[in-house]
A and B are shown apart, each in its own frame.
Chain A
Amino acid sequence: MRNFIISLSAVVFGLIGGAILMAVTGHDPMEGYRFLFQGGLKNISRFGDTLATGTPLIFTGLSVAFAFRTGLFNIGAAGQMLFGGFCASIIGLKLDASGAVLIPLMIIAAILGGAVWAFIPGLLKARFNVHEVVSTIMMNWIAYWTIYYAVPAYLKAESVETESRALPDKATLKAAWLSDMFGGSYVNMGLFLAVIVVIIIAFIINKTTLGYELKAVGFNRHSAEYAGIGVNRSIILSMLISGALAGLAGLAQYAGNGNNIQIGVLATQGYDGIAVALLGANSPIGVLVSALFFGLLYSGRGFMNAMTDIPPEIADSIIAIIIYFAATSVLMNRVITWFLGRRRANAGSAVSGKGKV
C-alpha cells in the first residue's frame, strides 16, 4: 500500500514537472496532456500500439527488478537485450522451418543469449566482487560493437548496410488475428508472452525456495550466508534469470514490434527498464502496470508532436522526473509516516478526551 502511494505520488510529481516544462517553454500543458493521452488511447488501434510499446518494457523492467531483489543493479539490460535479440534473429533468418518450430527455438535462443551476456558480470561479482554496475556497462558496449560488426557480416540486408535482413513473418511474434482485432495495430504475441513471464516470475519470487533464497541474499548477504544459502550461486543465478528476461525483451523488440536489428543503437528500453522496475517497486505486477504506463507516454508522444509544437522528448522528461521522485521516496515515506502518526495522535486524543467526560 505504502509503495503504491509512493509510486503514485512520483507519477503525479512527474506529470506536474512535465506541465511546468511545457508551460516554461511556452506551450499549453492541458492541451499537451490531452493529445498525449489521446495519442495512446484514442481508438482501439492506438491502444494496441500502446500495449505493444509497453511489451519490451515489461521484460526489461522485470529483468532489472529481478536482479534488484537479489541486491544487484543490472544496468546492462540494453546489451543483454541486443545480444538476445541477435541470437533469436540468427535462428529466425538461418533456419528453414515452420513457424511452430521457429518461434520456440527463437525464444530459447533469446533467453540463452541474454543469459550468457549477464552471466559474465554475475560471475565477476560472485567470484571477484567486481561491481556489477561497471561490468554491465562494459558489457553493453561490447554488445554494441559486436552487433555493429556481426550484423553486416552475417545478417546483412540486401540494400541497407546498417541493419539486418528483415525476418520473415513466420519468424516474428506477429499474429494477424491479434493485429486485426486491434484495428491494424502492431501489437503482437509478445504481449501474451510478457504476461505469462510476469506470472512465472511472480511465482518464483513469492512462492519458491529459490525466490526466498534470492531475496534473502538481497536483504543481507551475510545473514543469508550464515543461514546456509549459497550466496555466490544465488548471485550468478539471479543475473542469469535477469539476463534471460532482458533477452526476451530483445525478442519482443527486434522480432515482434520490429523485424530487424539496426546497428549502432543501444535500445532505450534497456535503460528505461530501470525506471519501470523502480516505479513498479520491483514487484512483477507493479512492473507490468508501470511498463504499460510508460508505453502509453511513449506511444502517445508522436500524436502529441503532430498536433502541437511540443517536442516528443517531453515523454522522456516526464519519465526521468518520475524516477527522480521515486529515487527520493524517503521524503515521501517520511511525509506518510508523519501523516499517519498525526492521525493516530488525533484518534488517541479523541479517545482520552472521551475518558475525561
Chain B
Amino acid sequence: MWTTIEQIFPYAIKFTIPLLIVALGGLFSERSGIVNIGLEGLMVIGSFASAFTIYKLETAWPGHTLTSIYIGILVATAAGLVFSLLHAFASIHLNANQVISGTAINMIAGALTVFLSRNITGSGNIRMTNPLPPFDVWGLHKIPVLGPLIFTNTYWTTWVILLIVLFSSLLLRKTAFGLRLRACGEYPQAAEAAGVNVRKMRYIGVLISGAFAGLGGAIHLVTIAGEFNGTVSGLGFLALAALIFGQWRPIGILGATLFFGFASTIANVSQVIPALTEFPPILLKVFPYAITLIALVVFSKTSQAPKAAGEVFDSGKR
C-alpha cells in the first residue's frame, strides 16, 4: 500500500500543477470581473507555442535541451498573454458577451494551432524528443514520509508555481493593487468612484490569466503530454471548475486542484493497483466531475463568486 502511495504522489502532483496555475489565472480574471472561459484555448496556445519553440531550438541549437525548454516555457507565457488580448479587447472595450468571446477564443486556438502545426510539421502533432527531466530535491528527499512523497521526482516548475500561488495570495489580500482588483470584480462603479481605472484593472486581470494559462499549457506539455496535438483534453475547463470549487481563493484553488490531481491519477492507474480494481473504472473516471457538480450545489448558497463577474461594466449604472 505504502509503495503504491509513494508512486501515485509524484504523478498526482505533476497533474495538479498545470491545473493549479491555470485556475489561478482564471482567479485573477474573474476577480477583476471578467469571466474567462477561454482558458482551455489559451492553454492550447501555450502548449503549441512551447512545442513549436522547443522543436525549432532542438534542430537549430542542438545540445541545449534544458535551455530550449526554459525558452519554450517563456515563449508560451508570452503567447498566452498576447492571445488573451483578443478576449480582453472584446469583453472590456466592445462589451461582448464574455462567455461567447471566450468560446470564440477556444475555437480560434484549437483550429489555428493545428492549422499552423500542419504547415510546419506536415502532421497536426509536434513531438518533443526530450521532456523536462524530474529531480529529487537535494537533502530533502531523504526525510522520512514527506521525502518520498513530495521531494522525489519533482520538477522545478512545480516549485515555481507554488511560489507564484503564495505570492498571488499575498498580492490579492495584502496590497492596494489586490484590493483594487477585487473591487473591480465586486462593485466596479464604486471602484471607479474611488478613482480606480476599472478598464485598466480588468485588462491586467485578463492578461495575467492569459499568461498563466499559456504557462500552464507549456508545463502540461513538457511534464505530462510530451507532444502537442491540438488539445489539452478539457484541462482548461477543469481549471474553471477548480476555481469555483476553490471559491475564488488561491489556497482554496490549491486544495481543489490537488483533489482533481489525485482523483484523475487514481482513475488513470486504477487498473494496476489491486486495491482499486474492484471499483468499476467508470465510477473512478466520472468521480471528479460528479463531485464538482455536487460541490457546486453545496456551495451555491454561500458562494463567494465576484459579484460583477460576467457583467458588462457600465459606469453610469448604480
Q: Do A and B come from one complex?
A: yes
Please give the residue numbers on chain A whose beta carbons come within 8 Å of chain B beta carbons, in ascending order.
Answer: 21, 25-26, 73, 75, 120, 124, 128-131, 133-135, 137-139, 141-142, 145-146, 148-150, 271, 274-275, 278, 311, 313-314, 316-317, 319-321, 323-324, 326-331
B300→A129 contact, CB < 8 A: yes
B97→A327 contact, CB < 8 A: yes
The answer to whether B37 has its CB under 8 Å from any CB of chain A is yes
Partner of B101, one of A141, A316, A317, A328: A328
For B108, the closest partner residue in chain A by CB is A320
A313→B114 contact, CB < 8 A: yes
A133→B99 contact, CB < 8 A: yes
Q: Which residues of A contact B292 (CB under 8 A)?
A: 134, 138
| B287-313 near A? 1/0 per residue, CB < 8 Å | 001101100110011000000000000
B118→A311 contact, CB < 8 A: yes
| B107-135 near A? 1/0 per residue, CB < 8 Å | 11011101110110000100000000000
Q: Which residues of A contact B241 (CB under 8 A)?
A: 134, 137-138
B289→A141 contact, CB < 8 A: yes
For B293, the closest partner residue in chain A by CB is A138
Q: Which residues of B contact A311 (CB under 8 A)?
A: 114-115, 118-119, 124
Q: Which 9 A-B pairs give the minimum distances between C-beta atoms?
A: A316-B111, A311-B118, A320-B107, A313-B115, A320-B108, A128-B300, A145-B285, A149-B282, A324-B104
The answer to whether B54 has its CB under 8 Å from any CB of chain A is no
What are 10 A-B interface contacts by the 8 Å CB criterion? A25-B115, A131-B296, A138-B293, A142-B286, A142-B290, A313-B112, A317-B111, A324-B108, A326-B100, A330-B96
For A314, the closest partner residue in chain B by CB is B115
In the assembly, what is the distance between CA of A196 and CA of B37, in Å? Answer: 34
Nearest Cβ on chain A to B140's Cβ, whole angstroms: 36
Q: Which residues of A contact B282 (CB under 8 A)?
A: 145-146, 148-150
B96→A327 contact, CB < 8 A: yes
Q: Which residues of A contact B114 (CB under 8 A)?
A: 311, 313, 316
B115→A317 contact, CB < 8 A: yes
A323→B289 contact, CB < 8 A: no
B104→A135 contact, CB < 8 A: no
Which size bracket describes the interface of B in this complex? 35 or more
Nearest Cβ on chain B to A16's Cβ, whole angstroms: 15
B300→A328 contact, CB < 8 A: no
Nearest Cβ on chain A to B279's Cβ, whole angstroms: 12
Residue of A26, A138, A275 ringed by the most chain B CB atoms within 10 A: A138
Contact A278 B100, CB 8 Å, known A138-B293, A142-B290, A323-B107: yes
Nearest Cβ on chain B to A64's Cβ, whole angstroms: 10
A319→B107 contact, CB < 8 A: yes
Main secondary structure of the interface of A (DSSP, over half): helix
The answer to whether B149 has its CB under 8 Å from any CB of chain A is no
Q: Which residues of A contact B137 (CB under 8 A)?
A: none
Partner of A274, one of B103, B240, B280: B103
Nearest Cβ on chain A to B270's Cβ, whole angstroms: 12
Nearest Cβ on chain A to B254's Cβ, whole angstroms: 19
Partner of B296, one of A128, A150, A320: A128
In the assembly, what is the distance between CA of A255 and CA of B301, in Å? Answer: 42
In the assembly, what is the distance between CA of A124 and CA of B103, in Å? Answer: 22
The answer to whether B178 has its CB under 8 Å from any CB of chain A is no
In the assembly, what is the distance between CA of A327 and CA of B107, in Å? Answer: 12
A141→B234 contact, CB < 8 A: yes
Partner of B95, one of A139, A321, A330: A330
For B267, the closest partner residue in chain A by CB is A145
Nearest Cβ on chain A to B231's Cβ, whole angstroms: 10
In the assembly, what is the distance between CA of A21 and CA of B237, in Å? Answer: 28
Contact A275 B99, CB 8 Å, known A145-B282, A330-B94: no
Contact A313 B285, CB 8 Å, known A324-B86, A324-B104, A327-B101: no
In the assembly, what is the distance between CA of A32 and CA of B261, in Å? Answer: 44
B94→A323 contact, CB < 8 A: no
Q: Which residues of A contact B237 (CB under 8 A)?
A: 134, 137
In the assembly, what is the distance between CA of A138 and CA of B101, in Å? Answer: 20
For B296, the closest partner residue in chain A by CB is A130
A317→B108 contact, CB < 8 A: yes
B296→A135 contact, CB < 8 A: yes
B94→A331 contact, CB < 8 A: yes
In the assembly, what is the distance between CA of A135 and CA of B292, in Å? Answer: 8
- Taking A149-B282, A311-B115, A314-B115 as known contacts, 17 extra A-B pairs with beta carbons closer than 8 A to each other, sorted by chain A number, are A137-B237, A137-B241, A142-B289, A145-B286, A145-B289, A148-B282, A275-B107, A311-B114, A311-B118, A313-B112, A316-B111, A317-B111, A321-B108, A327-B90, A327-B100, A328-B94, A328-B96
